[in-house]
Structures are given as C-alpha cells and as structure tokens.
With several copies, the nearest count.
Chain A
Amino acid sequence: MKAMAAKPTTAGTPANDDIGEAKRLALYRSQIRLREAEQRAFDLFLQNLVKGTSHLSLGQEAVAAGFAEAMQKGDLSFCTYRGHAHTLARGVSVEKVLGELMQKDNGLMRGKGGSMHLTSEDHGVMGSYAIIGAHLPIACGAAWRAQYRGDKDVSVCFFGDGTTNIGAFHEALNFAAVWKLPVVFVCENNLYMEYTPIGDVTAVPSPAGDRAAAYGLPKIVIDGNDADVVYREAQKAFAKARAGEGPSLIECLTYRHSGHSRADPAKYRPEGELERWKERDPIKIYRERLKQFGVSEQVMAEIDADVRREVDAATEACKAAPMPPTDILFTDVYADGGWAWRN
C-alpha cells in the first residue's frame, strides 16, 4: 500500500538515457515473456494440465527482468518456489518451464522436481528452494567460492517479505556481511506471506530495508514495479559485489496479482487493493516508458507477437510431450547416477 503512493522514481527522457534502447527493449521483452508464460501457466492450470502446486509472480515481473538483465553470464540466481519468472528471465525456454509444471518429459527436470524446484545450471539458475530461507545461506556459499577463487560472478538470491522473519535470513545476512561476500539479497516485498499481511507479523515497516543496518548495510527500498529502477539498483549492487565490497540487501516493493498458489483465490485482500496495484502494473509502466523514449507501438507489438509465438509453440510442445519414463525414478540420488544405499 505504501508503495502505491510512490510514483515511478525515474521517468527518464531520451536526453538522460543511461539504459539505452537495446537494454530497454530487452527489459520489455523479458517482462512480456514472463507475463505471457505465467498467464499461460494459469490457463493450463484451469484446463487441469498443470499438476501439483504452482506459485505465479504475475505483477512482479519488473524485479525478475530488472535483475536478470543486469546479470552477466556466469552470475548465479537462487530462487524460491515462486521461481518461474526468475528462471525464465535467465533465458530458460518457456517450454522447459511449462513442461515441468505439466510434469512432462520435456520439463526442466523431467518432472522430478516440480514447479517449486526449477533449476537450470546452464543458465546460472542454481535451484529453486521451497523451504523458506534455506537458499540464503546457500547463495552465501556460492559467493564464498567466487571470493575464494577470485571469480567475478555474483550470486543473487531472491525471496519474499515473509522470509525476512526466519532464522536463516539473519544468519545468512550476518555471514555475508562479515565475510564480505559477493552476494545480492533481493527481497520482493509483495505485502503478503501466504495469506497474512506482512505488517501483521513483522516488527518493522520495511521487512528487509529496516533490517539492513543490523548487518552494517545501507537501507535500500525501491519501486519494484519499475524495471528501470530495478535494473539500475541491480547494476550498482553487482558492481559493489564484483569490487569485493560485499553484499547488498535490496527490498523491492511490488505486488502479486494472482493468489499465493494455485489453490488460493486471494480473498484476504482489502477491496480495491488489487485494482490500485494493477494501475501500477509493471508492464503498463514499461509500455509508457518505452513510449516516452520514442519506441513505437509497432515495435512493441512485434515483440508481443514474438513472445506469444514462443509461448504458443511451447504450449503445443508440452501438450504433445510424453510423460517422463518411470526409470528416472531411481536415477541421480547419488553422483554415480543411481540410488544404491547398500551393496
């Protein structure tokens, strides 16, 4: 709600374009792609083709796109069960993500992990973790490896507002700060844990921002619905990390348009809240931004159509794809490829 008041903080003009048209179009494309893919996931769920659970981040695309576009190849993403967008934003194909949601053999993990555990190491997506807070220390470890070896990659760890209240958050932030690790913690504050407003269960107004000082870090709370704002902040944090100056904690104010998970009709929202946030839909904001910078409707429409083609093709491929074969049940428990716990 507080974020509602905030206007986009940087309504740039072509004159002060620090981001540049190519990157802007990439940010736009990415957001559209996340939106279309997740919207499709929802449609497929309504058709009973998505199995298990799934957690959409419709409305939160600017965070995923803004960070991913600021990352370099080799940078590492650590996501949660609400990880479709972050996974897609690193370049994983829509087919592989939808395939996993539909538990088909073409899925990213061939149905073994499911929607909460999307992983694509080839794209730097080092896993999606479904135990709240668990991946923050893990991201520290990856950053430690970079520090130890002198590698220049950054580990980026995404999580929600509710996650700031669990012990692992605290341990990871202190650990990263003391060891000056190249890790960036990104809190997507979408105002709710599952169904409970974050303010009801948190001692401070900014669940991440107001905790930063406890780890010697500056308070950073940004408009998470403006991809440019996100992109710029990400760049700053990554530069700091690569320079060996340690971690950042960035709170992005945003909102999920959908329920917490597929089972949730989100009846707990106060009336009008969703509508107000939809006025600040990141895609709406970004279309206006592009217009400001002189990008034509036609260019946008072409991107939209292009994305739709990917999503449509992916949908067809997933529908046609076979179920995973049952022999994968017993593979990859251990590094030898098998599961033998005895001789």
Chain B
Amino acid sequence: MAEISYRDAVARGIAQEMARDKDVVFLGEDVAKAGGCFKATVGLYEQFGPLRVRDTPISEQAILGAAMGAAMTGLKPIAEIMFSDFIAVCFDYIANEFPKSRYMSNGQTKCPLVVRTGNGAGSRFGAQHSQSVENWCMMIPGLKVVAPSSPRDVIGLLAAAVRDPDPVIFFEHKSLYPIKGEVPDGEIVDTLGTAKILRPGTDCTILALALMVPRALEAAERLKAEHGIDAEVVDVRSLVPLDTQTILGSVGRTHRLFTVEENPRLCGWGAEIVSIVADEAFYDLDGPPVRITTPHIPLPAADHLEDMVLPTADRIVETVRRSLNS
C-alpha cells in the first residue's frame, strides 16, 4: 500500500501495462520528453525509450488514425488527446472509424486501443479547455467509455482498458490529478463495466462520476448528519459497458434516484440512466428521478463563476433534501 496521486497513477498504470506487453505503445503531444502537459506521463520515455513513447506533431487526427492503424495490425496503442475538448478536432476517429470498422467488416477488423484524455472543469481554463465530454463518446455505438475517480481506479481501469480488445476512451479528470489515494502494491487490474457502491444507503441512490464522486460522498455524509437522509452513493466508473444491474439494484432498494454529472444539461449520461430507470424501474420509484448537472451553457473562465456552475456538495444536499421532503 502506498499513497499516490491520481496524476502519478496514470504513469504507473501505463508503465504497468508497457512492462507487461511490448505491443503496448504510447503516443501524443509532448508526452514523451516533456512528460505530458499535466505531468501525468513523467518517466515513461526514460523507462521505455523513444520507440515506445513518442512525441507527435499537433495533429490529433494523425494521432488517433495512427493509433487505429497500429491497433488493427497488432499493437495496443495508448494515445493521448491532451484536453478532451480537442476530441472535436479528431472526432471522425471516435465517431466513425474506431467503433464501426469491426462491424462493417463483419468481424474481420480489430481495434484494441485506448484514448486517454484530460477531461473536466475546475482549472479556470475557460470554455474550450474545461468541458466534460464523456457523453460525446457514450452516444457512439461501438466504443467503451471509462472515467475513474480515484488513483486506484486509474490504474485498475487503465489496465483493463489496455487489455480490452475494443476501443476504450479513458477520461481522466484534470481536477483530480493532484488528489491522493491509497493504492495496493503490485499489479492492479480492474474490470470494465462495473459500478461501485462507495457508500451503502437506504433512502436514495446518488450516481456520480469522476470529480462528482467525492462531492456526492461529501453530500451523503452531510445529508445523513444534517437531515437524517441515508443516501447510497454509486461511482458509475464505466459508462459503456454500463453496469445497469448495480444501478437498477440500488434504485430497487432506495426507490429514489439522483444523478450528479458535470456534463452540460442536455443528453448527458444522466439522461440515459434516468431514462433506463424510468422505463425499467418505473414502479420502483417513489418520486421523480432528478438530474443534477452543469447548466446548459459554455463554461466561464473566472474561478467563482466556474465554481458556481458545476454541481457542488451543497447543491446535491439541497436538491436531495428538497426532493425527498416534497
């Protein structure tokens, strides 16, 4: 056991997989010699050398296209897209190439790759460098989509993503990079498609992802302490595959659902899960399923403005309390 940061967990996860399998290669902008713009890949270049850890031009389409071609022919590339907002400049690979080639070729083509990217707000970077865009990927059939909330999950889910035979988009939350957590020694491999109940509870289910997980946990403690409401907190972790069993199971016990997501309001993963629950567990619900999201606006740069728009523990407490008491 050691306490390491989410940031260092990224490098450790990649190193674990590169040490295990020489087909794992890593490319991206400033990732090698400089150790990455968030310093999340420091040391990999030194450890694995210039053939396996490669700096690229500012050419996101070339990065993802090259990752795909390498994956189709036998490697297991990890590609970094520095900020997840930049997925927009290489979205064709995410939307039209990675997820469709196997199907269109009737199973001939494989695409075992991982795209890692810095997601989410909190750094006061403004509207083009702060978005949460996991829904841009969740909505595309044929991808897998993961977003860890802790250093341990970073390693375990990254390892699972690298070993997975399908294209996985791996969202690291920029505001979590400095946070620390306990991580066991030795190899860590987790399982995609599994949500985790982080805090069992009986009065309602709160689903959260990435940076929203610690906020949901804090809210749950306060709901209990201040209002006697016992909330179950589930870290969704994997949007595709989606662990609907855990989610439906939880709602089946608590009868109330809240989702906490950083996505802007419309068509986020909260909408998907609420729709699944409303359809499949309608008669389990004792009241309306409620989404807590960022409002449907671009993100402002100023710190106190940015802080106001993301869901906070306060907002979660207030929303749950009011909804359960009404």
CB distance from B92 to the nearest CB of A (A): 6
Q: How large is the interface on B (under 10, 10 to 19, 20 to 34, 35 or more residues)?
A: 35 or more
Given A111-B300, A172-B65, are A119 and B109 neighbors across the interface (CB < 8 Å)? yes
Residues of B within 8 A of A329 (CB): 297, 300, 305, 308-309
- A51-83: contact bitstring with B at CB < 8 Å (1 yes, 0 no)? 111000000000000000000000010000000
**Which of B4-12, B122-130, B148-156, B252-260 binds A?**
B122-130
A339–B69 touching, CB < 8 Å: no
Cβ < 8 Å to A, chain B residues 195-247? 240-245
A166–B58 touching, CB < 8 Å: yes
Checking A111, A175, A336, A343 against B62 with a beta-carbon cut-off of 8 angstroms, the contacting residue is A175
B57–A130 touching, CB < 8 Å: no
- B103-138: contact bitstring with A at CB < 8 Å (1 yes, 0 no)? 111111110100000000001111111000000000
A332–B70 touching, CB < 8 Å: no
CB distance from B71 to the nearest CB of A (A): 7
B106–A113 touching, CB < 8 Å: yes
A342–B128 touching, CB < 8 Å: no
A139–B55 touching, CB < 8 Å: no
Checking B96, B97, B103, B266 against A341 with a beta-carbon cut-off of 8 angstroms, the contacting residue is B266
Does B175 have its Cβ within 8 Å of any Cβ on chain A? Answer: no
Given A117-B128, A119-B108, A193-B30, are A171 and B59 neighbors across the interface (CB < 8 Å)? yes
CB distance from A208 to the nearest CB of B (A): 14
Residues of B within 8 A of A76 (CB): 73
Does B142 have its Cβ within 8 Å of any Cβ on chain A? Answer: yes
A140–B107 touching, CB < 8 Å: no
Q: In the complex the two chains form, what is the Cα distance from A171 to B60 in whole Å?
A: 8
Q: In the complex the two chains form, what is the Cα distance from A157 to B30 in whole Å?
A: 25
B97–A129 touching, CB < 8 Å: yes
Given A116-B128, A193-B29, A324-B305, are A343 and B193 neighbors across the interface (CB < 8 Å)? yes
Does B101 have its Cβ within 8 Å of any Cβ on chain A? Answer: yes
Residues of A within 8 A of B241 (CB): 340-343
Does A220 have its Cβ within 8 Å of any Cβ on chain B? Answer: no
Number of interface residues of A (CB under 8 A): 79
Does B275 have its Cβ within 8 Å of any Cβ on chain A? Answer: no
**Which of B13-21, B83-91, B182-190, B283-291 binds A?**
B83-91
A138–B97 touching, CB < 8 Å: yes
- A183-222: contact bitstring with B at CB < 8 Å (1 yes, 0 no)? 0000000000111100011100000000000000000000
Does B47 have its Cβ within 8 Å of any Cβ on chain A? Answer: no
CB distance from B247 to the nearest CB of A (A): 9
Checking A112, A141, A193 against B302 with a beta-carbon cut-off of 8 angstroms, the contacting residue is A112
Does A315 have its Cβ within 8 Å of any Cβ on chain B? Answer: no
A116–B72 touching, CB < 8 Å: no
Cβ < 8 Å to B, chain A residues 97-132? 103, 108-117, 119-121, 126-127, 129-132
Does B160 have its Cβ within 8 Å of any Cβ on chain A? Answer: no
A126–B298 touching, CB < 8 Å: no
CB distance from B43 to the nearest CB of A (A): 15
B104–A117 touching, CB < 8 Å: yes
Does A136 have its Cβ within 8 Å of any Cβ on chain B? Answer: yes
Cβ < 8 Å to A, chain B residues 5-49? 25, 29-30, 33-34, 37
Q: In the complex the two chains form, what is the Cα distance from A305 to B242 in whole Å?
A: 57
Q: In the complex the two chains form, what is the Cα distance from A89 to B26 in whole Å?
A: 35
Does A328 have its Cβ within 8 Å of any Cβ on chain B? Answer: yes
Given A137-B65, A175-B59, A343-B241, are A337 and B107 neighbors across the interface (CB < 8 Å)? yes
Name the residue of chain A whose CB is nearest to the CB of B101.
A127
Does A163 have its Cβ within 8 Å of any Cβ on chain B? Answer: yes
Q: In the complex the two chains form, what is the Cα distance from A110 to B106 in whole Å?
A: 7
A145–B75 touching, CB < 8 Å: yes
CB distance from B54 to the nearest CB of A (A): 8
Does A168 have its Cβ within 8 Å of any Cβ on chain B? Answer: yes
CB distance from A84 to the nearest CB of B (A): 14
Q: In the complex the two chains form, what is the Cα distance from A179 to B59 in whole Å?
A: 13
Cβ < 8 Å to B, chain A residues 267-320? 268
A134–B97 touching, CB < 8 Å: yes
Checking A103, A337, A339 against B297 with a beta-carbon cut-off of 8 angstroms, the contacting residue is A339
B141–A167 touching, CB < 8 Å: no
- B277-297: contact bitstring with A at CB < 8 Å (1 yes, 0 no)? 000000000000000000111
CB distance from A47 to the nearest CB of B (A): 16
Checking B34, B65, B125 against A140 with a beta-carbon cut-off of 8 angstroms, the contacting residue is B65
Residues of B within 8 A of A332 (CB): 102-103, 105-107
Does B93 have its Cβ within 8 Å of any Cβ on chain A? Answer: yes
Checking A110, A127, A174, A323 against B59 with a beta-carbon cut-off of 8 angstroms, the contacting residue is A174
Q: In the complex the two chains form, what is the Cα distance from A333 to B303 in whole Å?
A: 19
CB distance from B269 to the nearest CB of A (A): 12
- B286-326: contact bitstring with A at CB < 8 Å (1 yes, 0 no)? 00000000011110111111001100000000000000000
CB distance from A209 to the nearest CB of B (A): 17
Does B166 have its Cβ within 8 Å of any Cβ on chain A? Answer: yes
Checking A133, A201, A331 against B89 with a beta-carbon cut-off of 8 angstroms, the contacting residue is A133
Residues of B within 8 A of A114 (CB): 104, 124-126, 300-302
- B68-83: contact bitstring with A at CB < 8 Å (1 yes, 0 no)? 1111111101000000
Does A7 have its Cβ within 8 Å of any Cβ on chain B? Answer: no
Given A141-B69, A148-B51, A335-B165, are A131 and B298 neighbors across the interface (CB < 8 Å)? no
A201–B92 touching, CB < 8 Å: no
Q: In the complex the two chains form, what is the Cα distance from A301 to B182 in whole Å?
A: 59
Checking B29, B104, B304 against A119 with a beta-carbon cut-off of 8 angstroms, the contacting residue is B104
Q: Which 6 A-B pairs have the closest CB atoms?
A: A137-B65, A141-B69, A114-B301, A111-B302, A335-B165, A52-B124
13 contacts between A and B (CB under 8 A): A111-B305, A113-B106, A117-B301, A126-B73, A131-B92, A145-B70, A145-B75, A168-B89, A172-B62, A202-B57, A335-B102, A335-B164, A341-B266
- Please give 15 more A-B residue pairs, beta carbons under 8 A apart, in addition to A51-B124, A339-B141: A51-B302, A114-B104, A117-B127, A129-B128, A137-B68, A138-B65, A138-B97, A141-B66, A141-B70, A141-B77, A165-B57, A175-B66, A330-B295, A334-B142, A339-B296
